[in-house]
Structure 1
Amino acid sequence: MTLDNTGTTLVVVYLTSLLLVGWLAKQASGESSLKDYYLAGGSLGAMSLFFTLYATQYSGNSFFALPGKAYRDGIMAGAFIVGVMSIVLVYQLYAPRLLRIAQRENFISVGDFILWRYRSTPLLFAVNAVFVVVLVTFILGNLKAIGLLLSTASGGTLGFAPAIVLVCVIMAIYETLGGMRGVIWTDMIQGLLLMAGSLVVFLLLLTSTDNGIMNEPARLVQVTGEFFSQPIPTIQFISLVLLIALGAAVYPQAIQRIYAARNITVLRRSYFFMFFMPLLTTLPLFLIGFSGADWFPDLTRSETEQVVIFAIGDLLGAGSDSGSGLSLSWLLALYIGAAVAAIMSTIDSGLLTMGSILNKDFIARRHPQLPQDQLHRIGRRLTWVLMAVMAIMAIVLPNTIWSLLVLKLELVIQVFPAVVIGLRFSKLQSSSVLAGLIVGCAIAIALRLWPEMSPAPAVHSGLWALLGNLATLGLVQLIKSRHKKYEVSQ
Structure 2
Amino acid sequence: MQTMSDDVVLDGVGLALVFGYLASLLLIGWLANRARGAAGARDFYLAGSSLGLVSLFFTLYATQYSGNTLLAAPGKAYRTGFDGLAIMLAVMGVVLVYATFATRLNRLAQQHGFITVADFVQWRFHNPRLALLLNLVLIVTLCTFALGNFKAIGLLLESVSGGMIGFATAVLVLALIMGVYESLGGMRGVVWTDVLQGLLLLLGCLIIFYSVHATSGAQSVTHWPGAMAELQRYARNDLQPIHFLSLVVLIAVGAAVYPQALQRIYAARDASVLKRSYRLMFFMPLLTTLPMILVGMSVAEWLPALPEQDSERVIILAIQKVIGSWPAMSWLLILCLAAALAAIMSTIDSALLTLGSILTQDVLQRDEDGVHSLRRSRLTSWCLTLLLALLAIVLPQTIWALMVFKFELLIQVAPAIILGVRWRQLRGSAVLAGLVIGLCCAVGFKLWGTEPWGIHSGVWGLLANLLVLVLWQRWSRD
Deviations for 1:244-270, whole angstroms, at most 9, x for unmatched residues?
Answer: 111100000000000100011110111
Residue 157 (structure 2) aligned to one of 125, 150, 153: 150
Which residue of structure 2 lines up, in the alignment, with residue 233 of structure 1?
240
| SS across alignment from 2:100 | helix
- After TM superposition, the structure 1 stretch with the greater mean CA deviation from structure 2, 227-236 or 12-21, is 227-236
Which residue of structure 2 lines up, in the alignment, with residue 322 of structure 1?
none
Which residue of structure 1 lines up, in the alignment, with residue 142 of structure 2?
135
| SS across alignment from 1:230 | helix
CA distance, structure 2, for counterparts of residue 416 and residue 225 of structure 1: 38
Which residue of structure 2 lines up, in the alignment, with residue 353 of structure 1?
354
TM-score (norm 1): 0.93
Alpha-carbon RMSD across the aligned residues, in angstroms, is 1.6
Which residue of structure 2 lines up, in the alignment, with residue 53 of structure 1?
60
Pairwise CA distance, 1:229: 2.2
CA distance, structure 1, for counterparts of residue 226 and residue 76 of structure 2: 21
Deviations for 1:83-112, whole angstroms, at most 9, x for unmatched residues?
Answer: 001100100100000011110001111111
Matched to 1:439, the amino acid is I
Matched to 1:428, the amino acid is L
Pairwise CA distance, 1:354: 0.5
Matched to 1:354, the amino acid is L
Residue 302 (structure 2) aligned to one of 274, 278, 295: 295
Matched to 2:94, the amino acid is I
- After TM superposition, the structure 1 stretch with the greater mean CA deviation from structure 2, 53-62 or 471-480, is 471-480
Gapped runs of 5+ residues in structure 2? Answer: 1-6
- After TM superposition, the structure 1 stretch with the greater mean CA deviation from structure 2, 81-90 or 284-293, is 284-293
Which residue of structure 2 lines up, in the alignment, with residue 99 of structure 1?
106
TM-score (norm 2): 0.95
- After TM superposition, the structure 1 stretch with the greater mean CA deviation from structure 2, 288-297 or 99-108, is 288-297
Which residue of structure 1 lines up, in the alignment, with residue 468 of structure 2?
472
Pairwise CA distance, 1:222: 4.4
| SS across alignment from 1:213 | coil
CA shift in 2, pair 1:116/1:215, >3 Å? closer
Which residue of structure 2 lines up, in the alignment, with residue 253 of structure 1?
260
| SS across alignment from 2:304 | coil
CA distance, structure 2, for counterparts of residue 213 and residue 7 of structure 1: 32
CA shift in 2, pair 1:29/1:220, >3 Å? closer
Which residue of structure 2 lines up, in the alignment, with residue 15 of structure 1?
22
Which residue of structure 1 lines up, in the alignment, with residue 342 of structure 2?
341
Which residue of structure 1 lines up, in the alignment, with residue 94 of structure 2?
87
Matched to 2:29, the amino acid is G
Pairwise CA distance, 1:402: 2.6
Matched, 1:331 2:332: yes
CA distance, structure 1, for counterparts of residue 317 and residue 220 of structure 2: 20
CA distance, structure 1, for counterparts of residue 322 and residue 173 of structure 2: 30
CA distance, structure 2, for counterparts of residue 301 and residue 30 of structure 1: 49
Report % sequence identity: 51
CA shift in 2, pair 1:222/1:328, >3 Å? closer
CA distance, structure 2, for counterparts of residue 164 and residue 213 of structure 1: 41
CA shift in 2, pair 1:36/1:288, >3 Å? same
Which residue of structure 2 lines up, in the alignment, with residue 213 of structure 1?
218
Which residue of structure 1 lines up, in the alignment, with residue 452 of structure 2?
455
Which residue of structure 2 lines up, in the alignment, with residue 429 of structure 1?
427
Residue 228 (structure 2) aligned to one of 196, 219, 224: 224
Residue 416 (structure 1) aligned to one of 398, 414, 417: 414
CA distance, structure 1, for counterparts of residue 198 and residue 370 of structure 2: 32
CA distance, structure 2, for counterparts of residue 117 and residue 279 of structure 1: 37
Choose 1 or 2 for highest CA Rg.
1
CA shift in 2, pair 1:97/1:295, >3 Å? same
CA distance, structure 2, for counterparts of residue 313 and residue 149 of structure 1: 15
Matched to 2:464, the amino acid is G
- After TM superposition, the structure 1 stretch with the greater mean CA deviation from structure 2, 434-443 or 132-141, is 434-443
Matched to 2:207, the amino acid is V
Pairwise CA distance, 1:439: 1.1
| SS across alignment from 1:129 | helix
8 Å Cα contact 1:207-1:214 kept in structure 2: no
Residue 49 (structure 2) aligned to one of 9, 28, 42: 42
- After TM superposition, the structure 1 stretch with the greater mean CA deviation from structure 2, 351-360 or 227-236, is 227-236
- After TM superposition, the structure 1 stretch with the greater mean CA deviation from structure 2, 371-380 or 86-95, is 371-380
Which residue of structure 2 lines up, in the alignment, with residue 442 of structure 1?
440
Pairwise CA distance, 1:296: 1.8
8 Å Cα contact 2:219-2:225 kept in structure 1: no
Pairwise CA distance, 1:364: 3.6
CA distance, structure 1, for counterparts of residue 31 and residue 219 of structure 2: 44
Matched to 2:218, the amino acid is I
CA distance, structure 2, for counterparts of residue 402 and residue 300 of structure 1: 17
CA distance, structure 1, for counterparts of residue 308 and residue 396 of structure 2: 21
CA distance, structure 1, for counterparts of residue 324 and residue 84 of structure 2: 29
Matched to 1:414, the amino acid is Q
CA distance, structure 1, for counterparts of residue 68 and residue 332 of structure 2: 19
Runs of at least 4 residues off by over 4 Å: 214-217
CA distance, structure 2, for counterparts of residue 318 and residue 396 of structure 1: 40
Pairwise CA distance, 1:416: 0.5
Matched to 2:32, the amino acid is A
8 Å Cα contact 1:4-1:329 kept in structure 2: no
8 Å Cα contact 1:32-1:373 kept in structure 2: yes
8 Å Cα contact 2:220-2:298 kept in structure 1: no
Matched to 1:236, the amino acid is H
Gapped runs of 5+ residues in structure 1? Answer: 320-324, 485-490
CA distance, structure 2, for counterparts of residue 310 and residue 213 of structure 1: 19
CA distance, structure 1, for counterparts of residue 220 and residue 167 of structure 2: 40
CA distance, structure 2, for counterparts of residue 177 and residue 213 of structure 1: 50
8 Å Cα contact 1:60-1:145 kept in structure 2: yes
8 Å Cα contact 2:147-2:399 kept in structure 1: no
Which residue of structure 2 lines up, in the alignment, with residue 403 of structure 1?
401
Pairwise CA distance, 1:212: 4.1
CA distance, structure 2, for counterparts of residue 307 and residue 361 of structure 1: 42
Pairwise CA distance, 1:199: 0.3
8 Å Cα contact 1:23-1:177 kept in structure 2: yes
For these two proteins, the number of residue pairs brought into alignment is 468
8 Å Cα contact 2:257-2:410 kept in structure 1: yes
CA distance, structure 2, for counterparts of residue 298 and residue 400 of structure 1: 24
CA distance, structure 1, for counterparts of residue 446 and residue 68 of structure 2: 20
8 Å Cα contact 1:56-1:345 kept in structure 2: yes
CA distance, structure 1, for counterparts of residue 338 and residue 363 of structure 2: 37
Matched to 1:267, the amino acid is L
Matched, 1:377 2:372: no
Which residue of structure 2 lines up, in the alignment, with residue 68 of structure 1?
75
8 Å Cα contact 1:250-1:416 kept in structure 2: yes
| SS across alignment from 2:324 | helix
| SS across alignment from 2:163 | coil
Pairwise CA distance, 1:479: 2.4
